[in-house]
Structure 1
Amino acid sequence: MTLNFKASDVTDGGMHTFEVGERKVLVTRDGDDFHAFDAICPHAGANLGDGVRCGSRIVCPWHHATFHAGDGSLIEPPALEGLKQYRVQRDGDGLSVDLDDVVPPERPAPSHQDHHTVIIGGGASGFMAAQTLRDGGYEGKITMLTAENRAPYDRTALSKAYLSGKKPADKLPLGGADWAQENKIDLREGVKVTKLDRDTRAVHLDGSDSLGFDAVIVATGATPHTLKVPGAELDGQYPLRSFRDAQALRDAAQGKHIVIIGSSFIGLEAASSLVEGAASVTVIGQDAEVLSRALTPKVGRAIRKLHEDNGVKFHLDAEVTAIEGSAKAEAVRLKSGESVKADLVLLGIGVKPNSDLLSALANEKGAVPVDAELRAAPKVYAVGDIALSLTVLGEMRVEHWRVALQEGMTAAQSILKSSDLEPMNRRVPFFWTQQYGKSLRYVGHAENLDDTHLWGNPDELKFIEFAFKDGQAVAASGMGMDKDLAAFEELLLLGRAPGAGEVRAGEFSLAERLK
């Protein structure tokens, strides 16, 4: 198949999606230079033409994966690979793209042949670090040690598509079922690391084994908090962090009265995934409204109503004082005296970073400070949930999936000393949640919600809510306004986020402001 178009069909400095039969082709233009790519984001299938272009960056409208406008290479996850590129032919003002004429990606020069990188942790950060090393020409040895008896997988699907039964287990592995073998990764599953000796550059394993390293990436993630109330030891209570947790929960949930303790993202995603097959789902939250750390009460009420319309019940501004039952959980007792029937209890009350291996470097909250290249100490990198890293909004520890992927990518580029290295102080925190087929996206970070402004109508699930600090927008959450939220991230990155006065003056296109 061939795409034919005119130069005038694509604005200079812009991009445009063309349909060729059932396929979509994205064409970018910079002066007389045209480049053509698959228009579908390899992460989740969004049309990249519905996103934004900012200089050399093409930003996906859904999950903000970012690609280079000149060669389609991956700049930012959560996509795990770049775009397929097609050759563009020109004849006067007419241009054509033969979809069988693929431009092969440029292969980097081989390097680090006698180098050994040990990655402790098989989550998002660890996976992305290993993938980036191999994609960057790293030919040394890569050893990945994971406590789970499972290769790296998409943890974001656990509380969403996997828990609801819409995504089978064999579709969860990151990079595919044979990723480790294909990339020559020495993946060791079910392994416990007992000590990291920075002086001798050795990783000690449970037993007597140890591994030497030239570089080590600590990507040990986090552990869910547990309840500390009478009855916390009873069976029938589930965390939701690992595949094993999600599998056990899904197997046990059908037809049950389910109580979810925690009214934040994990709890609400699980509620939306489980309510269809459950006898009942009740969410208990300590705060007066759901998602109170990220959204104002007005927006939180709209999200809660979405759940209530689908049959979920809520007890908010509530405190759990006990789990009741004989051998297993049968009810959740509240401080008000009310008892909520529970055949099954799901705990969604936050996590703590697994930073024991770097405890000498961690702060009082268990976060490990790192530099702009994710280095915690010479030859030692800390990434993901344990890292206290730099962003455009200052230093913070962020537990989001995309940030974990970004940090793994940056640590690997630092080891490679890649020219593509983008220090973490040029990152913007971003996460998303999906409930009942509706996606809420959150860009930036706000320490509080004392100063906010709302565009649109949360009750119609089409809005952007801005949060300000010192008169400048530092965060925005929204639904149904994907392009503007993608543009807001780029504006934060550029230091051009709108001020509170401008936002309050009336709605305008954030995407247009980028130009």
Structure 2
Amino acid sequence: MPTLTFQLNDVPDGGMRTFDLGDALVLVTRDGDAVHAMNGRCPHAGANLGEGVRCGDRVVCPWHHATFHAASGALTEPPALQGLAAYTVTRDGAQCTVDPAVPLERPAPAPQGRPEEHTVIVGGGPAGFMAAQTLRQEGYAGRVTLLTAEPHAPYDRTALSKGYLSGKVQEADLPLGGPDWARTHGVDLRAGTRVTAIDRASGRVTVSGTGTFTADRVLVSTGSQPVRPDRPGTALDGVFTLRTLEDARALRDAARGADLVIVGGSFIGLEAASSLVQTAASVTVVAQEDEIMSRAVTPAVGRAVRRLHEEHGVTFRLGAELDRLDGDGQAVTGVTLRSGETLPAGVVLLGTGVRPVTDLLGDAADEKGAVHPDALLRLDPDTLAAGDIASAPTVLGEMRVEHWRVALQHGMVAAYTLLGRAGGADGESMGGEGTDVRVPFFWTQQYGKSLRYVGHAESLHDTACWGDPDAYDFMEFTFDGDRTVVASAMGRDRALAAFAELLRMGRAPTPTEIRAGEFDLVERLTA
């Protein structure tokens, strides 16, 4: 692998740049005479980090907003699961040389906590996984037991409706952290273990058939489960929800050559439609709303994405309400709408929402099933709640967010809380900040095009758009009074990453500024 040689002024002061060596992409950051080099590709999905943004000590990936420390490459925000390999920079005057074939060895973290401590994590989704991983990466010396009802180690659930259904991602590629993650991280993984009770006062966690665990601290991250609408026929064979690997495997096999009807016009159903349209005989999406994705984007954006689906053969019934699922006594044969129209269906996917699984937390849950931890995710000093079940503070106020990256963020926050380091380990570790400085973010990919979404809004009554949704090149903003609280975008990754950082710092442009016309959000960030 060749070495990299460059001049100090080739990298802007306070900025960053990537250099392509063919076999390696090297990211270089500079602050005055201090120069640092690291792997230039995001370990999450391989994006060129030089096409993202730098905000102080943060380097933000343009695709999915994983964030790394600008000097060390340490991970500060998921969805990446580890930091960047760092390289030695040698200086001869203004000339700098980097050898990417020799990464720096990171010192082992100092032991944290006592070996006799026991942390039990209930739930093997992204929050539980990230908490366990962060505890070990930060030197936690106690026992970590992860209990999950699924018969698998934690895996990438985001791939199920995208690459897995389409056949581009195989089951062997799904495990988070690789196939041997639990052993290499010293995690006692108990897959296929159903927790039946948690006694928060004593720390006892009861599991079905195998007794109890006694914990010093318990993290509950039990996620969500799909909601089946109260309509006749939803229990027929051939009717699916999509949450687990088993769900995805069965749906993929059943849809091959079948007439598939998807009930629900939000992201999970649309991703499944784009993944299965090549193998199903037909795909029809039924939605009550007048346009798809109507809770997140305006009709103009929804129409543009719908047109993309229609160009690939998906048909839609909008403003249509499900009346019943028809069958032959055992298997589904059709979907009847309130209008009286019946659609032939050999397979039905119900993308009709989820509800948080908080039965184990009893009266801590509100009427909607959510629990309300503080910014450090504590329900009480020894019980934490994270992920889909937690309505927690964010930069935009308290909310429950069913997004993959948010759940991973919660896992990091929970780990630092368990370590007693809520302020972060040092200048290179920001994961210990609370949820109240976190920005909600999610993405969807359909037919190779990505829609990315930053922030949260309860309604879309006040919006503005830069660019052209029909060209898949736009940023759409949502306002709440005199605040800009959401930006969604296609084809403007760097600008969206800049907006996310501005929102995080309380510097988002105002509605008046945005309505006045387009300007460079990256320049605004670095001004």
Band of TM-score, shorter chain = over 0.9
1:255-334 residue pairs with structure 2 within 5 A?
A: 255-326=257-328, 327-334=330-337
Instruction: Decide which of 378, 383, 399 is 2:381's aligned counterpart.
Output: 378
The residue that corresponds to 1:432 in the other structure is: 443
CA–CA distance in structure 2, aligned partners of residues 376 and 291 of structure 1: 33
Report SS of the residue matched to 1:276: coil
Q: Are the aligned partners of 1:359 and 1:366 in contact in 2 as well (CA < 8 Å)?
A: no
The residue that corresponds to 2:89 in the other structure is: 88
The residue that corresponds to 1:98 in the other structure is: 99
Q: Deviations over 1:318-345 (max 9, x none)?
A: 1000101112110000001100010000
CA–CA distance in structure 1, aligned partners of residues 405 and 236 of structure 2: 35
CA–CA distance in structure 2, aligned partners of residues 458 and 203 of structure 1: 50
Shift, 1:208, TM fit? 5.6
Report SS of the residue matched to 1:277: coil
The residue that corresponds to 1:422 in the other structure is: 433
Report SS of the residue matched to 1:503: helix
Deviates more, 1:166-175 or 1:14-23: 14-23
Is 1:444 aligned to 2:444, yes or no? no
The residue that corresponds to 1:127 in the other structure is: 129
The residue that corresponds to 1:149 in the other structure is: 151
CA–CA distance in structure 1, aligned partners of residues 106 and 442 of structure 2: 29
Give the AA of the match of 2:326.
E
CA–CA distance in structure 1, aligned partners of residues 210 and 126 of structure 2: 28
Give identity over the alignment, percent.
Answer: 59
Report SS of the residue matched to 2:363: coil
Report SS of the residue matched to 2:80: coil
Q: Are the aligned partners of 2:24 and 2:100 in contact in 1 as well (CA < 8 Å)?
A: no
Q: Are the aligned partners of 1:78 and 1:402 in contact in 2 as well (CA < 8 Å)?
A: yes
The residue that corresponds to 2:353 in the other structure is: 350
CA–CA distance in structure 1, aligned partners of residues 284 and 106 of structure 2: 50
Q: Deviations over 1:108-157 (max 9, x none)?
A: 10122221000001110010000000001012111110000011000000
Instruction: Decide which of 181, 184, 187 is 1:185's aligned counterpart.
Output: 187
The residue that corresponds to 1:223 in the other structure is: 225
CA–CA distance in structure 2, aligned partners of residues 102 and 169 of structure 1: 31
Report SS of the residue matched to 2:253: helix
Give the AA of the match of 1:277.
T
Is 1:366 aligned to 2:377, yes or no? no
1:374-413 residue pairs with structure 2 within 5 A?
A: 374-413=377-416
Q: Are the aligned partners of 2:473 and 2:490 in contact in 1 as well (CA < 8 Å)?
A: yes
Q: Are the aligned partners of 1:89 and 1:95 in contact in 2 as well (CA < 8 Å)?
A: yes
Give the AA of the match of 2:364.
L
Report SS of the residue matched to 1:49: helix
Deviates more, 1:51-60 or 1:99-108: 99-108
Instruction: Decide which of 453, 468, 484 is 2:479's aligned counterpart.
Output: 468
The residue that corresponds to 2:61 in the other structure is: 60
The residue that corresponds to 2:523 in the other structure is: 512
1:41-56 residue pairs with structure 2 within 5 A?
A: 41-56=42-57
Report SS of the residue matched to 1:306: helix
Q: TM-score, normalised by structure 1?
A: 0.99
Structure 1 portions without partners, runs of 5+ = none
The residue that corresponds to 1:249 in the other structure is: 251
CA–CA distance in structure 2, aligned partners of residues 189 and 265 of structure 1: 29
Shift, 1:230, TM fit? 1.5
Report SS of the residue matched to 1:369: coil
Aligned residue-pair number: 515
Q: Are the aligned partners of 2:333 and 2:345 in contact in 1 as well (CA < 8 Å)?
A: yes
Shift, 1:207, TM fit? 2.9
Structure 2 portions without partners, runs of 5+ = none
Give the AA of the match of 1:424.
T
Q: TM-score, normalised by structure 2?
A: 0.97
CA–CA distance in structure 2, aligned partners of residues 230 and 52 of structure 1: 51
Shift, 1:509, TM fit? 1.1
Instruction: Decide which of 441, 462, 465 is 1:454's aligned counterpart.
Output: 465
Shift, 1:417, TM fit? 2.2
Runs (4+) off by over 3 Å? none
Give the AA of the match of 1:372.
A
Q: CA RMSD in A?
A: 0.8
CA–CA distance in structure 2, aligned partners of residues 494 and 33 of structure 1: 25
Q: Deviations over 1:71-101 (max 9, x none)?
A: 0000000000000000000001111111233
Give the AA of the match of 2:262.
I
Shift, 1:106, TM fit? 3.0
Q: Deviations over 1:279-321 (max 9, x none)?
A: 1000000100000000001110001000000000000111000
Give the AA of the match of 1:467.
T
